[in-house]
Chain A
Amino acid sequence: MNIQIRSAWNAFRQSPHAPKWLTWAAINVSIAAYFGFGLVAPASVSKTAWLPGETTHGHYQIEMDCNACHDPGRSADGPSGSDVMQDACIRCHGEQLDRAKDTHPAKKFRDPTNAERLAVLDAQNCLSCHQEHVPEQTLTMGLTLPADYCWHCHQEVADSRPSHRDMAYDSCATAGCHNYHDNRALYEKYLDDHHGQPDHLELASLPRRSTAASLSGVFRPDRPLAIDQADHPATQSVDQRVLDDWATTAHARAGVNCTHCHGGNGDTAWSEAVAMESCQQCHAGQVASFQTGKHGMRLAVGLPAMTPDQARLPMHAGQAHAQLDCNACHPGHRFDTQFAAAEACLQCHADDHSLAYRDSAHAALWQEELAGSGAVGSGVSCASCHLPRIEGETGIWVNHDQNANLRPSETMARQVCTHCHGLEYSLSALADPRSVASCFGDAPTERIESVQMAHAWFLQRQAKRDARLKKP
């Protein structure tokens, strides 16, 4: 047998075409190895070749971790469509939907009387409306079915809401009136409650943060440390400026010492870089929310931190390789929340909306607040709008998911805008692309009618009731 193989090999070597065949074989093996490695490799660019199509703006950062959505081992129920696990969607978005008081949760469709409707539009399955890798049919909010989907269930809406007669079904969610999942700023009672408000409220101010109360760690302001108590290892040379900065921060006032963040206390080795897990010890809510937004979502699935060169929005080239972790916005030892609130954003972001900020009325208010001539909470930084202050069980804390009130953007009306503006003005501004592009430097040109319509409907109902009860 060996003799036969050897003689065949010798005959092949002596063939004039042997080099060509060898080259062909090598190329094929290389191609197979490249694709094969992509299949088994951990999350990385090696998997690019296996992407069936461009992913949406919400998922492209983690597209190299195919298993984030396709791993059958993490699903108890099996694939729900296109080999994607339904529970993969819920793993990342379930809590957001709960917080948004999802108006179309799957449970709403479990009533057996919906069987016929579900046969047309399976509204219990995220993938019925949000497919991935199909950029040619993806609309805003990752919607991948025709925008008049409301028709399937709400054909008779005009019976109870005559004002809706003749309205096109593809306009339901595009005019500041309705959103499929999050209607907190748009449901009729809320709209009516805010009817008649002026564009600019007399008392315009953001809620005050209760940072200390929202901390999850054991450190509290009653254990202040002085500069001579810094416990960095003696072998570690530390710049005096760094120590001075640390001593002026809330960290020193709360008893957070060098080794709490950098290690080097005997159990752990000293590290110049501070891991996100160190921040998480005390700022659990902030870190968790950071990882649900675009800035931190790669870290959430174990990928290297996001860098601006990976962004689809325009970014400043000089920051292309900056790593987006806690220190990206809270650098050095000052952890300056004022820097983090605007300058940190603008050092990377270079889209029209961001570039217009410095010339906006919002920025002028922010500068006044920084200068001390404006009241605390009266300024509007990037963070004022994109990192909303949320009332939690322990007080007001900052949600570090900068996408939280962009799903959809009307969410921002309730969580942010209405602290200073009337609801109708807020919804109108958010629905006006020109106003958004100018960072709200331009007032909205058209008024959203949903507030007026809701108010008219409540008035009509009340008038009918009064007439029946024969009230004056």
Chain B
Amino acid sequence: MMKLNRNQQLAAAALTVCAVLPLAALSGCSNSEASSTPSGGITPQQFADGVHAVMMADRTVYATHVVTNLNKQDAPVKAFEYWEDTENSIPLPAQMFRMGAELVDENPEAGFTYALRSKWPLNDQHQAKTELEQTALDYLSDNPGENFYGEEELGDQKYFVAVYPDRAVAEACWSCHNEHPNRGDDYPEFAKDDVMGGVLVRVPL
């Protein structure tokens, strides 16, 4: 094993503290839970659960307090699929989520990727891309309320994959989806709290 001098040891210790503490806080775990993992850090699942909690909080707030509120007020500004080329329009919740995911993709420090997936995607980009993703979406459908965790290998790289149910949290979600012209013939009539798809977090191992 490579020997570290005193300064390097101090730097490594500082880095470990800096890296672990925020992630532990992010995951919602107590310090004792985080330290119970074999490496003294957090597991990929704890990490995925943590970042997912943040994503869903933002997503819920946007859908409920921004999009739904605008609709209720009959405001001139609306969430609209073609928002970039339309005056007085803002991105749909799913588009906002995808743009955030793309920014994370661009950040080499992020260390993970995330995406929306659905068995009934209104946008083809959100359909399952791998066998594991398809399995995960089926699992979420068959086991309401549960998360799916697994591992897969893509391009010689192993990943930890967590998929969380994506529920209809605000009226704007299910009403827009149910009325969308892109919906297929087998599209379900969604209602409050229905699982409309999955939020996928992929962490390289």
Contact = CB atoms under 8 A, between A and B. Distances in A.
Contacts, number: 46
A101 B130 contact: no
A116 B155 contact: yes
A48 to B, nearest CB: 39
Given A190-B85, A461-B181, A464-B181, A112 B159 contact: yes
Interface string A113-133: 101101100000000000000
A115 B155 CA distance: 5
Contact of B105 (A111, A187, A190, A461): A111
Given A101-B84, A190-B85, A461-B181, A113 B106 contact: no
B86 to A, nearest CB: 8
Contacts of B204: 112
12 contacts: A111-B115, A112-B154, A112-B204, A113-B130, A113-B154, A115-B154, A116-B154, A187-B85, A189-B82, A190-B85, A461-B181, A464-B181
Interface in A422-448: none
A155 B178 CA distance: 28
Interface of chain A: mostly helix, strand, loop or mixed: helix
B102 A108 contact: yes
B30 to A, nearest CB: 31
Contacts of B179: 465, 469
A462 interface: yes
B155 A112 contact: yes
A142 to B, nearest CB: 25
A110 B106 contact: yes
Nearest to A159: B124
Contacts of A118: 155
A160 interface: yes
A467 B155 CA distance: 45
Interface string A166-195: 000000000000000000000101100100
Interface string A190-224: 10010000000000000000000000000000000
A107 interface: yes
Given A160-B124, A189-B82, A115 B181 contact: no
A280 B59 CA distance: 45
A113 to B, nearest CB: 4
A201 to B, nearest CB: 19
Contact of B181 (A101, A112, A160, A462): A462
Contact of A115 (B133, B157, B180): B157
Contacts of B85: 187, 189-190, 193
Q: Which 5 residue pairs of A and B lie closest in terms of their CB atoms, listed nearest first? A: A115-B155, A461-B181, A113-B129, A110-B105, A189-B82
Contacts of B167: none
Contact of B102 (A107, A119, A465): A107
Interface in A70-111: 101, 107-108, 110-111
Contacts of A462: 181
A187 B86 CA distance: 13
A107 B181 CA distance: 28
Contacts of B82: 189
B78 interface: no
Nearest to B115: A111
B113 interface: yes
Contacts of A113: 129-130, 133, 154
